[in-house]
């Protein structure tokens, strides 16, 4: 049923796509922050660019499909059709691109002053030009494939985000045609120019090198104009297709075939460097068949992944002031690094806070389980793995050691499908039992179950997390990892994996909340309980995004009842706060900083009465209704204090936090008696102090620590 038929109130909600664009604007704000080191500012421009690329590939792509398949479908937060949503998106993008270009120019100038030079060919010194010419002749030209588009040479397929030099060519008769020169993946993104003194970094991006020598690559044709271009294709492949093709074949093989279709989906954007002439653009439009509203000119590089390689090429003396100071994640003081992780978790529940805590305790737990004689099985859900995953190798070793290892591998994790297919084969070859989840429902949950046997008694160690089992992102994303020997949670985890093995999504659990059935249901129950308290009610939720209309409406009802609601949402928020009569008691904060905020915490009530959960699910329709997600209660007093302190510290942030206004815009929080950068605070202060039960001295230390936190944040 369409939103209009449901009679929905759009007075306090907003479109998810426009809300996401606001988030990416906040990413760009980090590039404008003078307190951020210059290379890090350039990286934020790169992140903004890759974010926008994915937005076009996925969100714009899916709306494009929807506009053809179901043109009258109404968005239940804005009341717009797919075409209307696309129109609003296309209106917003040019200003963002212009802002990006200005910031790129500013940061580049400052980097030049600091000794980092991103050069055009004409700006090279004579000896550098000689080096570039030789490099082009020996390393580049032999693998190039320039193409002329005419009756004998059809227009080539353009891969999404692959850089090409487009050229307006003229033959000897004065006729014009189009030439294309792809930048092969085998080439580096830039070449570092020789610097005998090694006190600066001078480099030439590959597209600039190719553009310089394009005139020599098209034979007798004269190059009238040339410039860098790239297209963005719809990447929103339909996983439903694998139901109808080769229905009896292995799901992994069907996924591999389906991925090949992604590179041939519709073009949704054409980007071109500002030097591309109108005549050249006219030829491109004729071949690509794209509207003016889908074409974007820019002065900044069209692809910016090179930025993350540039920082590794910096001379050591140059790099230090241009980058964040190195940070090494710490081993929690409450855990004995040389002791048994299993026995320590049996003693007390443990909670790791990435990246401030290292992931090593979990790796140690998994490695210990792979070797312990009393461990009979390891079961784990995997959504994204590092390209060189320690976790996967430990699981292989466990299987080789005779443990029963079950891996629920989600092959449909967007843009990680190929990586997950490769790992699934490796795990299977090592003897792991690999399954692919439930049809129509991505498995996004983060849970690991270790089962041990002593005599005729089974016991469990269960880990539930908010982030992926990925050692790389564990150093870049803020996430939580809860480890417990609680028997009820272990029994729930056992039942969960049994249900996944038979495709049962309707299981009932004592402690764990499992979507698509359990999480939203419990969230609504918990919100109702706070509504019953009226002005004494309190809700604080930290997540990445919120789009689910039923949850939004229930939170608005809670606001009307006087419940104080604090939302810490990094990205999309379709609820607009501060609307009189609906959401005046809702406050929305977004934090964008050095690390990607990724943890999910759900708090209902205050103090000792608060119900606290962590989990894998955001408050999005896809997470709550169309994915397998897990949330877990946290009841150990020490860990509850830790979660509440994390929430309060982030709410007190007035450096990297922005507050959402009633019109959907954001302003950066400033002022207050104490300057609080929550991520910087977490880097400097550990929540892990020795267990209070061990010594009276340690009990005093812990009480003093949390008292200091409350005082620091102004809560005492």
Nearest in space to 302 (alpha carbons), one of 49, 522, 28, 123: 49
pLDDT of residue 672: 78
pLDDT of residue 340: 97
pLDDT of residue 704: 43
Angle CA 549–67–160, to nearest 5: 100
Backbone angles phi, psi at 298, to 5 degrees: -150, 160
**C-alpha distance from residue 545 to each of 574, 588, 598, 619 (Å):** 8, 11, 10, 6
pLDDT of residue 673: 84
CA dihedral 241, 246, 248, 254 (to 10 degrees): -60
Q: What's the pTM?
A: 0.91
Q: d(Cα 700, Cα 689) in Å, to the nearest integer?
A: 10
Residue ranges of the alpha helices (H) in 585-636? 621-625
Q: What is the CA radius of gyration of the chain?
A: 27
* Secondary structure of residue 698 in the 3-state scheme: helix
pLDDT of residue 700: 36
**Tens digits of residue pLDDT in 386-442:** 888 999 999 999 999 999 999 999 887 677 788 888 888 999 999 999 998 788 899
Q: Which sign does the torsion angle of CA 560, 563, 566, 569 carry?
A: negative
Neighbours of 240 (CB within 10 A): 10
The catalytic residue among 117, 164, 444, 688 is: 444
CB 77 within 8 A of CB 547: yes
444 given a catalytic annotation: yes
Query: Which residue is it, tokens 């007190």?
Result: 652
Residue 393, burial from CB neighbour count under 10 angstroms (0-12, 13-18, 19+): middle
**Intervals of the chain under pLDDT 50:** 1-5, 239-248, 694-716
């Amino acid at each position: 049923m369409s939103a209009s038929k449901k009679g929905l109130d759009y007075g306090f909600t907003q479109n998810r796509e426009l809300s996401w664009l606001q988030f990416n604007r906040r990413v760009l704000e980090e590039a404008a922050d003078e307190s951020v080191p210059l290379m890090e500012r350039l990286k934020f421009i790169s992140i903004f660019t890759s974010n926008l690329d994915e937005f076009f590939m996925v969100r714009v792509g899916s709306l494009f499909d929807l506009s053809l398949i179901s043109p009258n479908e109404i968005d239940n937060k804005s009341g717009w059709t797919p075409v209307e949503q696309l129109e609003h998106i296309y209106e917003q993008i040019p200003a963002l691109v212009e802002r990006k270009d200005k910031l790129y120019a500013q940061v580049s100038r400052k980097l030049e002053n600091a000794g980092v030079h991103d050069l055009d060919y004409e700006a090279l010194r004579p000896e550098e030009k000689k080096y570039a010419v030789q490099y082009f002749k020996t390393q580049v030209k032999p693998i190039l494939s320039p193409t002329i588009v005419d009756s004998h040479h059809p227009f080539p397929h353009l891969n999404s985000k692959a850089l090409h030099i487009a050229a307006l060519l003229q033959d000897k008769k004065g006729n014009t045609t189009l030439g294309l020169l792809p930048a092969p993946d085998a080439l580096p993104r830039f070449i570092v120019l020789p610097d005998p003194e090694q006190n600066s970094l001078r480099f030439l991006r590959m597209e600039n090198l190719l553009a310089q020598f394009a005139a020599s690559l098209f034979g007798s044709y004269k190059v009238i104009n040339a410039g860098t271009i790239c297209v963005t294709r719809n990447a929103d492949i339909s996983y439903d297709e694998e139901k109808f093709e080769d229905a009896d074949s292995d799901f992994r093989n069907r996924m591999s075939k389906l991925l090949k279709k992604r590179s041939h989906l519709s073009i949704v954007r054409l980007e071109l460097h500002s030097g591309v002439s109108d005549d050249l653009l006219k030829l491109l439009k004729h071949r690509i068949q794209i509207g003016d509203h889908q074409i974007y000119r820019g002065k900044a590089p069209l692809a910016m992944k090179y930025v993350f390689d540039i920082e590794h090429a910096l001379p050591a003396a140059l790099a230090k002031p241009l980058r964040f100071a190195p940070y090494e994640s710490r081993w929690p003081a409450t855990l004995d690094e040389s002791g048994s992780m299993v026995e320590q978790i049996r003693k007390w529940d443990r909670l790791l806070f990435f990246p401030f805590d290292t992931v090593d305790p979990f790796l140690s737990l998994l490695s210990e389980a792979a070797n312990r004689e009393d461990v009979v099985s390891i079961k784990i859900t995997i959504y994204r793995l590092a390209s060189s995953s320690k976790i996967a190798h430990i699981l292989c070793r466990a299987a080789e050691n005779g443990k029963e290892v079950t891996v629920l591998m989600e092959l449909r994790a967007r843009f990680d499908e190929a990586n997950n297919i490769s790992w699934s084969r490796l795990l299977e070859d090592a003897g792991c039992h690999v399954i692919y989840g439930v049809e129509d429902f991505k498995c996004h949950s983060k849970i690991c179950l270790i089962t041990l046997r002593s005599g005729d008694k089974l016991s469990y160690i269960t880990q539930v997390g908010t982030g992926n089992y990925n050692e790389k992102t564990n150093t870049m994303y803020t996430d939580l990892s809860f480890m417990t020997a609680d028997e009820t949670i272990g029994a729930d985890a056992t039942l969960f994996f049994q249900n996944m093995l038979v495709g049962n999504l309707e299981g009932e659990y004592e402690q764990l909340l499992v979507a698509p059935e359990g999480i939203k249901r419990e969230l609504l129950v918990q919100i109702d309980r706070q509504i019953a308290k009226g002005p004494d009610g309190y809700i604080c939720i930290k997540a990445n995004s919120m789009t689910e209309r039923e949850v939004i409406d229930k939170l608005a009802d809670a606001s009307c009842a006087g419940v104080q609601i604090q939302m810490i949402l990094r990205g999309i928020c379709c609820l607009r706060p501060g609307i009189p009569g609906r959401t005046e008691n809702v406050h929305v904060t977004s934090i964008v900083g050095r690390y990607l905020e990724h943890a999910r915490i759900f708090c209902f009530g205050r103090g000792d009465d608060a119900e606290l959960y962590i989990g894998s699910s955001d408050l999005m329709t896809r997470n709550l209704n169309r994915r397998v997600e897990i949330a877990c209660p946290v009841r150990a007093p020490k860990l509850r204090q830790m979660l509440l302190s994390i929430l309060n510290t982030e709410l007190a942030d007035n450096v990297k936090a922005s507050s959402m206004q009633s019109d959907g815009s954001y302003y950066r929080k400033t002022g207050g008696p104490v300057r609080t950068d929550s991520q910087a605070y977490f880097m400097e202060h550990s929540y892990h102090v020795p267990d209070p039960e061990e010594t009276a001295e340690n009990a005093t230390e812990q009480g003093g620590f949390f008292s200091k936190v409350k005082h620091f944040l102004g809560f005492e």
